A and B are shown apart, each in its own frame.
Chain A
Amino acid sequence: MLEQLEGSQAVARTVALCRPEVICAYPISPQTHIVEALSDIVRSGELAPCEFINVESEFAAMSVAIGASATGARAYTATASQGLLYMAEALYNASGLGLPIVMTIANRAIGAPINIWNDHSDSMSQRDSGWIQLYAETNQEAADLHVQAFRLAEEVSLPVMVCMDGFILTHAVERIDLPRAEQVDAFLPSFEPRQVLDPAEPVSIGAMVGPEAFMEVRYLAHAKQMQALDLIPQIADEFEAAFGRASGGLLRRYRSDDAETIVVALGSVLGTIEDVVDELREQGMSIGAVGLKAFRPFPLEEVRAALGHAKRVVVLEKALAVGIGGIVSANVRLALSGIQLHGSTVVAGLGGRPITAASLHGLFTRAAADELGPLEFLDLDWDSVEQELRRMRESTRSGPHAENMLRDVGTVASRSH
């Protein structure tokens, strides 16, 4: 049924339709609206049986989910940013134990400096935690991906993160087609755990593994993600057949099949990119876009097939690997191993810096003219950076960067949002 809904509400209501039995919640922006809505849904009895646990930290949230999942319950939580880092140890544990927990990430920057706005630093920092990572482009896709995520997680017995851009998606009100309960029930069978804590059949879970088997256990985690590479498009196809709309999959090509310049990105920025691609196409530029929907497992072959013919590839990233530059681009480059083309990494939108169509228009025009260097920072205020670098040269006690630069900018409280 079509409704005008905030992204968080759409996700919460879709998660509820997936009938999680244990939900654990700890507040952090911009994820909070999701668990607030789920709290209402559980308290009103609309979702039952379900235990909603208000925990004392994100580390506890993931730990409660681990205990619940290992006891055979479908478990869900949501977090962002610092919260995701705070649960990092438990993330590796959940995936290492092969527990099919589903978690929403409302993507947000990581401090310091503290910043509540959107980028992909949080989920990118946990890309190798063993979790499957799916990225939503729209709120409709964010909602739909949760239904697919539970199915995927439980089939391969691995945890899944559904990543959606904080504020840009979570707080945006859009038209959403929420799935119906009976549709979800038909699509998502009840959870049959591969391992379960049960007095009738006692098992030990979490034993120490030494050099004799550790490599093999780790390899299995990889093997399961490779299975997910096949399953993700399969589940997306089934979803389309059942719900009548395309959502998810490994990647999405947009006017890229014949394009000389291809822009690669993840998440909500794809919408803006596609608009700019349309404009430039009208002006005669041979340009297209490829949106990555699954970042872990990384679809090497599909990316190679989608990009291999291009003259140049621009990877637009909402994260920065300090000391090298791109995270997504390093993965894309591996997919293009042996293929000669011009590649650029563009770091953009950190900490909620708006990525405007005008900026992208200029960027892609420069790209098509081969004017981009290997690493670019979109709309970086070079004057401000130069000024701080000058202060550092002039004084050994030049003070804290963030505060110095805010003083230079002269903005009291952010006007980004």
Chain B
Amino acid sequence: MTDPDTRPTKQIRFYQAGSFAVGNRLLSPDERTVQARTERSNTLTSGHRACQGCGEALGARYALDAAMRATDGQLIATNATGCLEVFSTPYPESSWQMPWIHSLFGNAPAVATGVAAALKAKGRTDVRVVGQGGDGGTLDIGFACLSGMFERNDDVLFICYDNEAYMNTGVQRSGATPPAARTSTTKPVGEEPGNVFGQGKNAPLIAMAHEIPYVATATVAELRDLEEKVTRAMAIRGARYLHVFVPCPLGWGAASHDTIRLARLVKETGLFPVFEARDGEVTEVSKIRRRVPVEEYLVLQRRYAHLFKPKRNEAVLTRLQEMADRNIRRYGLLPEGGEAAGLPGDAGAAAGLEEVRAAVAGEAAVRPTPGPGLLRTIAGAPRGLR
């Protein structure tokens, strides 16, 4: 028998309780994810040819299964040319357990409009439409069709799986490629290695400028959030846009097992704000749980290796950190009262920050030593990291 007095004074806390981090085991059945349900549709089923650790395959599976559940299986998808199209349909094998059409690289939103129009004419408004494509098919070559679909408020949810370059053709720069990133057309050669510091092409903000009823961003690190957003989107009629951040191990020179970690870090740095907007206004922001310097995110990817070797490029690292800081200010990404105050379900609220880091990561994250430039940036950060 254990003497009550010898019991550990520190209560063991299941930090996941009350959060969704553990997946489903501690949740009541009705709160479980779509993916955890035995009746999930497996819309993008196994056997496809995506690379190990492909963020796009993961994002598409969760998004479409959630959309299928939300529409009771009454769903049609259109798909732009790209990795998702190629790896899913090496005919006679197809991974799509739903009606699916691929037409061209730049017209997936317009094809989706056509499908929706046909369904409306036929009185089948119970059947819904999802268009999907990568960042090239959405932000570059398909942009006019996307904007037209938004402007007309056609009843289509368009999902962009953003892996920040033309991966299917061999990692060329797209309008979504971030500054300084190496691609096969922005190689680390010359005076300014990697992609230029342009003005960016912020698709979610441009979507919001169309004042469509629903715009959201998500990452494959927070799959429950992704499912929720798809479910919410499918409850709305009209043009909707979901921009999902999907790491690409091949194109980014990252380890396959780091896909989720990178998707988490990109949000925790502030580089990719995760939010929801209705009718052109931001209504929800996913707060940063544990703010990290951008370096932690960059150092895991060979596309940024030239920023660290042969010598650190402080100027570029500073600019990238400033981009993250600007997002944090602009979207209010830090929780009220600083990060330790905690959000509902935030691990940081219950345990020491270092403990949480170990627990959440479980992966002894590579911690680059912040250089002087980065420290300057952190010192200038609004709060939380001081």
Knowing A63-B104, A197-B76, A198-B99 are in contact, say whether A68-B123 is a contact too (CB < 8 A).
no
Query: Which residue on A lies nearest to B107, using beta carbons?
Result: A63
User: Is B255 interfacial (CB-CB < 8 Å)?
Assistant: no
Query: Which residue on B lies nearest to A71, using beta carbons?
Result: B118
CB <8 Å contact, A204 and B91: yes
Knowing A51-B121, A53-B152 are in contact, say whether A22-B114 is a contact too (CB < 8 A).
yes
CB <8 Å contact, B91 and A67: no
Knowing A64-B110, A68-B118 are in contact, say whether A208-B89 is a contact too (CB < 8 A).
yes
A93 to B127, CA, bound (A): 24
Partner of B144, one of A57, A199, A202: A57
Band of interface residues on B: 35 or more
CB <8 Å contact, B114 and A67: yes
User: Is B186 interfacial (CB-CB < 8 Å)?
Assistant: no
Chain B proximity mask over A37-54: 1 for CB below 8 Å, otherwise 0: 000000000000111011
CB <8 Å contact, B117 and A60: no
CB <8 Å contact, B98 and A67: no
CB <8 Å contact, B112 and A67: yes
Max chain B CB contacts within 10 Å: which of A59, A71, A72, A90?
A71
A164 to B121, CA, bound (A): 29
Instruction: Tell me whether chain B's interface is mostly helix, strand or loop, or mixed.
Output: mixed
- Docked complex: B75-90 residues within 8 A CB-CB of A: 75-76, 78-79, 85-86, 89-90
User: Is B327 interfacial (CB-CB < 8 Å)?
Assistant: no
A24 to B111, CA, bound (A): 12
User: Is A89 interfacial (CB-CB < 8 Å)?
Assistant: yes
CB distance from A108 to the nearest CB of B (A): 23
Knowing A51-B117, A71-B114 are in contact, say whether A208-B86 is a contact too (CB < 8 A).
yes
A50 to B117, CA, bound (A): 8
CB <8 Å contact, A71 and B119: yes
CB <8 Å contact, B91 and A55: no
Partner of B96, one of A64, A97, A201, A202: A202
Query: Which residue on A lies nearest to B117, using beta carbons?
Result: A51
CB <8 Å contact, B144 and A197: no
Chain B proximity mask over A189-208: 1 for CB below 8 Å, otherwise 0: 00000000111011111111
User: Is B336 interfacial (CB-CB < 8 Å)?
Assistant: no
CB <8 Å contact, B74 and A199: yes
Q: In the complex, which residues of chain B have a beta carbon less than 8 angstroms from the beta carbon of A230?
A: none
- Docked complex: B95-118 residues within 8 A CB-CB of A: 96-104, 106-107, 110-118
Q: In the complex, which residues of chain A have a beta carbon less than 8 angstroms from the beta carbon of B367?
A: none
- Docked complex: A20-38 residues within 8 A CB-CB of B: 21-22, 24
Knowing A198-B99, A207-B89 are in contact, say whether A67-B113 is a contact too (CB < 8 A).
yes
CB <8 Å contact, A63 and B99: no
Max chain B CB contacts within 10 Å: which of A22, A49, A207?
A207
Max chain B CB contacts within 10 Å: which of A66, A93, A209?
A66
A312 to B145, CA, bound (A): 51
Partner of B110, one of A51, A60, A206, A207: A60
CB <8 Å contact, B111 and A63: yes
Max chain B CB contacts within 10 Å: which of A22, A64, A66, A93?
A64
Chain B proximity mask over A169-213: 1 for CB below 8 Å, otherwise 0: 000000000000000000000000000011101111111110000
A117 to B89, CA, bound (A): 45
A64 to B109, CA, bound (A): 9
- Docked complex: B133-158 residues within 8 A CB-CB of A: 144-145, 147-148, 151-152, 154
Q: In the complex, which residues of chain A have a beta carbon less than 8 angstroms from the beta carbon of B89?
A: 204, 206-208
Knowing A64-B114, A71-B118, A75-B114 are in contact, say whether A197-B104 is a contact too (CB < 8 A).
no
Q: In the complex, which residues of chain B have a beta carbon less than 8 angstroms from the beta carbon of A66?
A: 103, 107, 111, 114
User: Is A160 interfacial (CB-CB < 8 Å)?
Assistant: no
Q: In the complex, which residues of chain B have a beta carbon less than 8 angstroms from the beta carbon of A67?
A: 78, 101, 103, 110-118
Query: Which residue on A lies nearest to B76, using beta carbons?
Result: A197
8 contacts between A and B (CB under 8 A): A49-B121, A49-B122, A59-B106, A63-B114, A67-B118, A93-B104, A204-B96, A204-B100
10 interchain residue pairs of minimum CB distance: A67-B114, A206-B102, A56-B148, A63-B110, A73-B118, A63-B107, A71-B118, A67-B111, A207-B91, A68-B114
Identify 9 new A-B residue pairs, CB closer than 8 A, beyond the known A49-B121, A66-B103, A197-B76: A55-B110, A57-B144, A67-B110, A67-B112, A89-B106, A90-B107, A93-B104, A202-B98, A206-B85
